Chains A and B, each alone.
Chain A
Amino acid sequence: MTTGLSVQRLSFNYGAKQALQDVSFSVAPGQFCALLGPNGAGKSTLISLLTRLLVAPAGDIEIAGHNLRNAPRSAMAELGVVFQQSTLDLSLTVRQNLSYFAALHGLPRGEVPGRIDTALEQLGMRERIDEKARDLNGGHRRRTELARALLHDPKVLLLDEPTVGLDAAARQSITDHVHDLANQGLSVLWTTHLTDEVRDTDALLVLHQGQIIDAGQAGALRGDTPLPDWFLVRTVAPT
């Protein structure tokens, strides 16, 4: 039994089209794992499978030791997710959005205000608690979503291209913060197609045409070649 995230021999088809083929990897506690893949590589399908929006006919997913197929509720309770597309209710305040999420995860009502304060404080969002999500800028909305994903103290954090549409400063801030979270013991899977978000010390997976074609430490994989060039070579050439 692993305590982080483990994916074994996962395959998925949309009709005749194979979206994922025999995908296996694991993310240990305290590890920041970047999943790099060009558009159409299968990242969104993988995220849908990891969040149980889809169920794969073949393969196994374990989240903090809980098998997603056999014990979906225990597994989902240990998973924090930031989707690529914003899932904030724009007509509600930051507090209302987080309270709604807390209830969906069955957090005791008495604990919720304290947890919300702590989560927002850590992301520098405490003073915006009563602002409507509609009035927040892109960076603040993302931070709110990150705070929300951490509200139930998950052991595994999944972020699907979380910096899309953000300016450079906001991207940097979110990337740094999530690296800090990994350093504190969280298993982090960060999907992206932006190579500058990956550090040499990060674990790196390259997903291309539905298959993991490279896995290892980013610095070791790229060698002396800059990561953007290395990534381009790996994903442009036919595999």
Chain B
Amino acid sequence: MMFNFDDTKWTDIGFFFCYTPASQSPGERIRAVVFPVGSHYKNSWLIQIGRRRINHYLEFIFIIFFSLVSLFHLSAQSTATISGYVTDAATGERLAGATVYLPEHERGAACNDYGFFSLGVPAGKVNFVFRFVGYEPWQKTFTIKNDTLLNVRLESRNIVKEVEVVAISKEDFLHSPAMGTHRLNAQQIEQIPAVLGEPDLLKAIQLLPGVSFATEGSTGFSVRGGSPDQTLIRLDGVPVYNVNHLWGFMSAFNNDAIQDTRLYKGNLPARYGGRLSSVLDVSMKEGNLHKQTGTFSLSPIAGRFTLEGPVVKEKVSFMVSARRTWIDALVLAALKLEGQEDEQVLTYGFWDINAKTNWVVNPRNRIYLSFYTGYDAFNVEDSDDRYEDYAKFSYNWQNLTTVLRWNHIFSPLLFANFSAYNSRFRQLYLNEFDKKGNEVYKGYNNLNDMTTKGDFDWFPVTNKTFRFGYEFSLQQFNPEIISYRSDSTFFKLNSDVFTRNFISEIYAEVESDITERTKGIIGFRAGNLTTGGKNYLSLRPRASVRYLFTEQVSGKVSWSRMKQFLHQLQNTTLGIPTELWVSSTRNIKPGTSDLFSAGMFWNNTSYKFSAEAFYTVMKDVVQYKEGTLAVKERGDSWEEHVEQGRGKSYGLELMSEKTTGNLTGWIAYTLSKSSRQFNEINFGRPFPYTYDRRHQLNINTNWNLSVKQKKDKTITKDLSATFSYASGRYMTLAEQEYQAIPLPLMEGSRYNAEWFARRSLINSVNNYQMPDFHHLNLSYRVERESKGKINSWNFSVYNVYNRLNPWYYYKKGDQMKQITLFPVIPSISFSYKW
């Protein structure tokens, strides 16, 4: 079937063309829906102003980039532009990374993060192929004469014999100059065996090359030698400052609410800034525009409920997902068993809520409102019914993010996303020594981030994409505000030790073909941090080049300079999220890093193989001084207890991935080294970084055992396995001790005389390497689908062969003790989807 667009100029009329592969009858496979945009939109002030701005300002702003473009060879101008969205036919959700390809002309384009594409095409008959991994490709020939808006719906092929997992597309993996990028969706995360059956995004990330974990079971991770705070973790474009529940053993991300996740660790696109090592970009589900669906999940540790559907069909949708733990009930039961429930009440709980609404205003405008909050609360109450002996301690922390986004298509060549968000993080410590509340000690840390930004994708000529934007942030940090109140005393400390920042940044980058086989991205991010009357101005270039050796093999190199204006202070080497976020100040400079990467990439139909080498140098990274925990004092400013120094890491990552067939998964190996050096720590000598692990091997597989059809039921059985091996973690451990000489004036003194007679011999920070870490996890999943309703049981065993991996060592008397957190743990979880 041919479609003629001879008389339809996008700018004059504005067509909205939908393709629905779910055909009603053989003759109606394609359903075209035409929405005349008409004079109302054509003459609207918004469109007109938009056009004027585009015409007048963009040329000025990007004059430098025009110059750069002239360095590239300019391909022939197209006569028309095809643009639009690619969406999931079942849900209406947009498919970021889907591709459109013109086989006869050997040109194509990938959808941006919002599923939008724009492609210049020659006039005449043009054959289009739309693809997205995990979806049926759609191929069609059109006769094109003018600019055309084309919205395409692709149908998922989840319920088919051939399994294909979502991953980085071939376009991104092989052809794009971007490197060090990984992609995971909720389904893949769900298939990975997890502790107590609770799927966890941040633990799934740790199976990727270049990502090392802090301690077993924790969500803390390091990317290419960076510290956890050096990864920008965003949920729907908003930084989430605390990504943990349960003291870091569970992530704050409810898997049922997640649509897609991307990890950038090599060449970081210019639109991302503010962190030194990587970006983890998580997208929430948008909400099904066509019909109401839901998920109800149970695991031994938490329950989840998700509901999504249209408010106005095809126009407005919603998604809401809530999760709550029942660990508080388990702890109470444990205390009861111990017979302690009368003396001490100990409760711990967490919950989180994700919500999103999505309004398709018209073919060119879409508005999203997203909301996330997560809350952890820990309480210990000791009482014997007499006021004098009463004590209550509460510790809770909460994240709250809200973002309003507006997607607007100014023209077939220009797509924009405007966002305004607020991200807050608050920790509260409360000590009450009196039931009447007469004696209260209170401490809290606050972070408040308000940002507005705009991101633009501009496609002026074929095979050239400009991305540019701005970002303005107002941040306030109130670390360690302390107050004490009793009948006779009141004081407040640190209330004046707050930092207010204003960050203003712009970025721009161009992606373009340089030669027939060479493609490059060059860009920058520039801006200024104003804090405490001081300005930190910075320019951060980004560059990457890809050379296509064959249609299956490419090589890439990249360089990114990054800046980080805020820091997370960690006081132990265990990766426990103490989460004290502080800002750069007059005295504490922003951190800077240079990320260099080079790699080879090979891709055929079923397999991908990549080898990437990286070298990262960091300066002005922040760490607590030695012994801070012992010497840090209520009332002290954190600035007095930190050191700034340098970091270095380098390594090689190998990854082999199988994306189709009954057996899918990946094998990832990382060889790396990471170190830190501070003038006042370890006597100025470099030492291994806590997350440094020389070797890491992760194998993650999913085997589709069978798909059987029984009457109206489809029964799918899967077996998943992950095996992880890693060199032991570094820790500071006194291996020997020696006789000490008394300090001046201390000879014969009573104070701690025995201790002062000996010293622990620690030659260096992180001097001891724990034994190698390894474990195997298995899960078996049975899924029954009938009339659109799916129930699944997941039987998993964590640490199948009960490897007692050390979590920590300590000395008691003359005996060394080992703490192991996760022995063999079987679990069952259930989910029901409709």
Q: Do A and B come from one complex?
A: no
Interface residues of A (CB under 8 A from B): none
Chain B residues within 8 Å of A, Cβ to Cβ = none
